[in-house]
Chain A
């Protein structure tokens, strides 16, 4: 399963790589990273990717996670990827807006790894 993680914090990359170490080794998961919304969009338009799941932060400089979500929903109406938004604790406004824009699920920071893995497992079974 291809997962695109969008976050302006570069340290998210080693964190996720280490977190999914076993899955990556087994070839169950393939992680891609983008440092901004713009990066994420260009990555998606290269076409080669068949990203199933996008994990995106909301608060990013430039294109925000919400704008990215909006763009994805507009550009990929067919076979849309699942989008999971990562929101900061205690930010009900962004949560509501993400829901309105068509986010599939939410994660709150700090990330609960067990919950994240469980959600991904559910996608694998259902998808």
Chain B
């Protein structure tokens, strides 16, 4: 019976082959397995051709022994060692059967059935193991499949997670950008609010100023008119009734008349002065009544720059200043009231020349007075085209504490009697209320002052 050892060895070889498949040592063993299979097949054929001999069984037993030994001893087969349990009964049954057959033929023949039964059980044992191993393998394969599926799923989840991560980052970026934009808008709004409050304040101050002027106007007119009439009456008195009194009384009367006349002229002088201020104050109420016409602001700026300069030169021969104009002819015409804009320009130029002349008095040697005026076309924040006129001087500059009061009526830094403090406040009203423009100022004390006027072009 050589079929069972043959099948056992074949099974072992196949089993090892399967176990080693995929490992690094497999190529080396693959050929050996092939050779072993070839040998046992050859052996089986030889045994079948040459009628069976008892020693043939011992060749099979030896081969089986070597196979089992190889599985147990070779390090690379250590994972396959449990399979030995499956083949060991078969090996022992064959060994015992063949031994008994050799030593005691009679005994063997008598117990032949038992040996057959033992062989049968060994075969069943082996088959059972084969079955179990198969089952285990299947379970392992299933496990492997499950793990592969799990891996695939994990990979999908990871990919989705990464995608989500990117999405979250994008969203976060968007939100951050929105937040920054909102913060910017809030700052802009705050600035606008402050500006509005300031504008409102200046507007109500302008109204108040005009209102006061209106109320003062009438009483002041009486003062002026009565003073004038009184002066005339004095003349009449002197030329008429007083001619008839005695010479000594006349002299006395003349003296008093002289004083009275002088007093009246003082009243008239200061009355006119107050009237001038009132007229200035009333300018606040008529900053948006003039007739607008297409106006060449460049020409106006150039004209008033010269006018202001020569005005100051007429008062002070020693005064001198450089003038730089950079007027862009492409700005074209602006709908404006020329006299009003002229008044604004004259005001700013006068201030500029006054400032540089004051500085020249302090630093007569080193300082070179200069006034710049430039114009250009710009597009404002809300997209409207505007003319930008910048007037700059390198004079005394404006202290920061003064900057916020600059447009308030009656605010002046000039000595008493030299300025009413109405110039810039009216200028501001003319530009903002009268022309829907903007007026800005920038300055550094001791270095420069720069006024910017923005007028809408459309």
Contact = CB atoms under 8 A, between A and B. Distances in A.
Chains A and B come from one and the same complex:
yes
Contacts of B233: 18, 21
Interface in B156-215: 214
A90 B229 contact: no
A24 interface: no
Nearest to B226: A15
A39 B224 CA distance: 27
Interface stretch (A48-56, A61-69, A71-79, A109-117): A109-117
A54 to B, nearest CB: 19
A19 interface: yes
Interface in A3-24: 9, 11, 15, 18-19, 21-22
B218 to A, nearest CB: 7
A88 B221 CA distance: 10
A22 B228 CA distance: 15
Contact of B221 (A22, A90, A93, A111): A111
B225 interface: yes
A125 interface: no
Given A9-B222, A88-B217, A92-B289, A22 B236 contact: yes
B68 to A, nearest CB: 128
Given A21-B233, A92-B286, A111 B218 contact: no
B279 A110 contact: no
Nearest to B229: A18
Contact of A89 (B225, B282, B289): B282
A90 B218 contact: no
A32 to B, nearest CB: 19
Contacts of B225: 15, 110-111, 113
Contacts of A111: 221, 225
Contacts of A113: 225, 228-229
A109 B286 contact: no
Contact of B222 (A15, A88, A90): A15
Contacts of A109: 217-218, 221
B220 interface: yes
B229 A110 contact: no
B136 to A, nearest CB: 111
Contacts of B296: none
Interface in B384-421: none
A1 B232 CA distance: 22
Contacts of A22: 236
A118 to B, nearest CB: 15
Interface in A82-120: 88-90, 92-93, 109-111, 113
A110 B275 contact: yes
A11 B218 CA distance: 11
Nearest to A7: B218
Given A19-B229, A110-B221, A110-B224, 15 more contacts: A9-B222, A11-B226, A15-B222, A15-B229, A19-B232, A21-B236, A89-B278, A90-B279, A90-B282, A92-B286, A93-B289, A110-B220, A110-B225, A111-B225, A113-B229
27 contacts: A9-B218, A9-B222, A11-B226, A15-B229, A18-B229, A18-B230, A19-B229, A21-B233, A21-B236, A88-B214, A88-B217, A89-B279, A89-B282, A90-B282, A90-B285, A92-B286, A92-B289, A93-B289, A109-B221, A110-B220, A110-B221, A110-B224, A110-B225, A110-B275, A111-B221, A113-B225, A113-B229
Interface of B: 214, 217-218, 220-222, 224-226, 228-230, 232-233, 236, 275, 278-279, 282-283, 285-286, 289
Interface of A: 9, 11, 15, 18-19, 21-22, 88-90, 92-93, 109-111, 113
